[in-house]
Structure formats: structure tokens, C-alpha cells
Structure 1
Amino acid sequence: MMFENIGGDFLVHVGEEWGWHHMMGFGWFGWFGMIFMLLFWVLIIVGIIWLVKWLIESTSRTEKASKKRALEILDEKYARGEIDDEEYERRKRKILEG
């Protein structure tokens, strides 16, 4: 039996015949390799989904904190008498809508 390695595939000469055989097709290593490759890609995809979810939640938390701070500033201005009731309500509605 003669082997020739050509880019990861093996050209095998058995008797009078030559044929292509892939390494993943030989024995149990092929099955273990396939299972580990599948597990690897599942972990990569789950990691990407987790990262996107975390980024979206982080953005949402930032927006909520920003609105809360804006309302605190508005309350302070109202308490100091810098704005009247009508202006306070108008600005508060605008902050809560946006």
C-alpha cells in the first residue's frame, strides 16, 4: 500500500487501484473529530448570541440611567423654582416619551 499526501487528502494505492481517502473517514478519530468540531461551533454560536444579548441589555441599562438622571435634574430645577408647573410637566412628558 502506498500513500501520497496531497493537501490533507491521501491518494492511496492498493493493489492496482488508486483512490482518494479523507483523513476524517478513518476509524473512531473521524467521529470524535466530528463531535468536537460540532461542539466547537455550537460554543462559538452560543458565545456570539450571549455577547449580542449582553450588549443590548447594557444599552438598555444605559438609557434607563440616562432618563433617571434627566428626571433628577428636572426635579432639582423645579424645586429651585427655575421652571413652573407647566414647563415641568411638559419636559417630564418629553423625557419619558423619548
Structure 2
Amino acid sequence: MIFGPLFMILVLAAVIVVAVLAVRWLGGPWQAAGPPPLPPASRTALDILNERFARGEIDQAEYEAKRRLVSHG
């Protein structure tokens, strides 16, 4: 008498598990929220310096000093 409802619950749980696995398999890979992609390697030191200056991370005096260092090697 108790085995009937218990068996139905187990069958229902198995159907739900199979449905979830099928949806995940057919849906393909999920886009995981990870770190942003790395910037292209073609950026030069001068490009990075220009970006920092444009964002206001460094002032004009520091920018000019670092630009001279980068330009003269």
C-alpha cells in the first residue's frame, strides 16, 4: 500500500532528472560569467599610456615623462 505512492514519487523524480539533463545537453554550453577577455597583444606601451592619460589615471606631467621614456627606449 505504501509502495505505490513511493514508486510514483521515484518515477516522477527520475522523469524530472532526465528532462533537466536532456535540456542541458541539447541547450549547449552555458555562457559562464568569467573574467573579461584579454586585450589584444598588439597594443604597445604607448597605446596603454595614452589610454591611462585619457582615463585620467595620470596627469600631464607624468604622461610626458613616461612618453619620453617609452619613445627613447
Which TM-score applies when normalising by structure 1?
Answer: 0.31
Higher RCO (CA 8 Å, separation ≥ 6 residues) = 2
Q: Which has the larger radius of gyration?
A: 1
Higher strand share: 1
